[in-house]
Chain A
Amino acid sequence: MTDSNAKASKGTWYNVPCATNCGGRCLVKVLVKNGEYVRTKTDDTHEDSWEWPQARACPMGYAQWEKTFGPGRLKYPMKRKSWSPEAPNGHLRGMDEWERISWDEALDIISSELVKAKEKYGNESILFINIMSLEGYLGSVLSKFGGYVDLSSVDSMGTFTYNPAMYGLQNMNVNDRYDNVNSDYIVLYGHNGAWAEFPSAYYLKPAHEAGVKFVFVGPEYNATAGVFDAEWFPVRQGTDTAFLLGVAHSMLTQDDGGSIVNWDFLERCTVGFDKAHMPDDAKIDENFKDYVMGVYDGIEKTPEWASLICGCPVDKIEKFARIMGAENKVSIHTSGAPARNTGAENFPQLLMTVAAMGGHFGTPGNACSNDQQYGSFDRGPTLASNGAGGRAFTCCPTALKNPVQMNIPSNEVWESVLNGTPFHDCGDALAGMRPCEEKQTDIHVIVSEHHNRLGSFEGTAKGIKAFRKVDFVCAQAYWMKTEAKYADVVLPVATRWERYMYNFYTSVGATYRDFALINNKVVDPLYEAKSDYDIAWALAEKLGVDISEFMADSEKQHWFNSISGAKVIVADDEEVDESLLVEGGSANWADAMLESDEGEVEESEAKPPKLGDRYRPLVTITEEDLEKLGVKGKVQEGVISLDQFLEDGIYRYRRDDAGYPGVYIAYEDFVRDPEGCPLDTPSGKFEIYCQTKSDWFDKIHNGWPNYQPVSPLPKYLPTVRGYVEGFEDWERQIPGKHPYMVSNSHTLRHSHTDHDNLSYLREAWANPVYISVADAAEKDIETGDVVMLYNDNGKVLRRAQVSRFVMPSTLDLPHGCAVEVDEATGIDLAGADNYLCSAAETTANGSNAWNSTRVNFEKYEGDLVLRPDHEWEPRVPLKG
Chain B
Amino acid sequence: MSEYGFLFDANNCIGCKTCQVACKDSHRLPIGVNYRKVRSFTTGAYPEVGMYHVSMACNHCANPACAKACPQGALSKDAATGMVVLDEDKCAGCGSCVAACPYGAVVLNPEIGKAGKCDGCVGLVAQGERPSCEAACPMRVIWFGPLDELKAKYGDKGYVRDFVVLPSSDVTDPSLACVIKEIMLDSDYDEVFN
Asked if A638 lies at the interface with its beta carbon under 8 angstroms from chain B, I say no
Asked if B158 lies at the interface with its beta carbon under 8 angstroms from chain A, I say no
Say whether B124 contacts A227, CB under 8 Å: no
Chain B residues positioned under 8 Å from A221 (CB to CB): 49, 51
Chain A residues positioned under 8 Å from B78 (CB to CB): 1
Asked if B190 lies at the interface with its beta carbon under 8 angstroms from chain A, I say yes
Say whether A768 contacts B13, CB under 8 Å: no
How many A-B residue contacts, CB cutoff 8 Å?
A: 190
Which of A59, A313, A759, A803 is the one whose CB lies under 8 Å from B18?
A: A59
Say whether B138 contacts A1, CB under 8 Å: no
Asked if A476 lies at the interface with its beta carbon under 8 angstroms from chain B, I say no
Say whether A9 contacts B124, CB under 8 Å: yes
With A62-B21, A764-B21 known to touch, is A232 a contact of B119 (CB < 8 Å)? no
Say whether B138 contacts A766, CB under 8 Å: no
Once the chains are docked, how many angstroms separate the CA of A474 from the CA of B122?
49
Number of A interface residues in the complex (CB < 8 A): 66
Say whether B47 contacts A58, CB under 8 Å: no
Say whether B46 contacts A807, CB under 8 Å: yes
Once the chains are docked, how many angstroms separate the CA of A260 from the CA of B129?
53
Say whether A6 contacts B127, CB under 8 Å: yes
Say whether B122 contacts A225, CB under 8 Å: no
Question: Chain B interface: which of A161-169, A192-200, A681-689?
Answer: A192-200
With A48-B140, A62-B21 known to touch, is A768 a contact of B193 (CB < 8 Å)? yes
Once the chains are docked, how many angstroms separate the CA of A233 from the CA of B52?
19
With A226-B50, A766-B193, A805-B49 known to touch, is A4 a contact of B28 (CB < 8 Å)? yes
**Distance (whole angstroms) from the CB of B58 to the closest CB of chain A:** 12
Asked if B44 lies at the interface with its beta carbon under 8 angstroms from chain A, I say yes
Once the chains are docked, how many angstroms separate the CA of A803 from the CA of B43?
10
Asked if A3 lies at the interface with its beta carbon under 8 angstroms from chain B, I say yes
Which of A6, A42, A59, A229 is the one whose CB lies under 8 Å from B17?
A: A59
Say whether B122 contacts A3, CB under 8 Å: yes
Once the chains are docked, how many angstroms separate the CA of A763 from the CA of B38?
12
Asked if A783 lies at the interface with its beta carbon under 8 angstroms from chain B, I say yes
Chain B residues positioned under 8 Å from A231 (CB to CB): 48
Asked if A57 lies at the interface with its beta carbon under 8 angstroms from chain B, I say yes
With A8-B123, A9-B123, A766-B193 known to touch, is A39 a contact of B47 (CB < 8 Å)? no
Say whether B124 contacts A59, CB under 8 Å: no
Asked if B116 lies at the interface with its beta carbon under 8 angstroms from chain A, I say yes
**Distance (whole angstroms) from the CB of B79 to the closest CB of chain A:** 12
Once the chains are docked, how many angstroms separate the CA of A3 from the CA of B87?
10
Say whether A5 contacts B123, CB under 8 Å: yes
**Distance (whole angstroms) from the CB of A764 to the closest CB of chain B:** 5
Say whether A1 contacts B43, CB under 8 Å: no
Say whether B44 contacts A804, CB under 8 Å: yes
Other A-B pairs, 4, CB within 8 Å; known A56-B18, A59-B18, A227-B13: A5-B122, A44-B129, A57-B136, A201-B138
Chain B residues with a Cβ under 8 A of chain A: 11-18, 20-22, 24-28, 31-32, 42-53, 78, 85-88, 116, 119, 121-124, 126-127, 129-130, 132, 135-140, 181, 190, 192-194
Chain A residues with a Cβ under 8 A of chain B: 1-9, 39-42, 44, 48, 56-59, 62-63, 65, 194-195, 198-199, 201-202, 205, 208-209, 221, 223-227, 229, 231-234, 313, 316, 747-748, 759-761, 763-766, 768, 772-774, 783, 801-805, 807-808, 870
Report 10 cross-chain contacts, Cβ distance below 8 Å, ordered by A residue. Answer: A1-B78, A1-B87, A4-B26, A41-B132, A57-B18, A62-B25, A221-B51, A760-B25, A801-B192, A804-B43
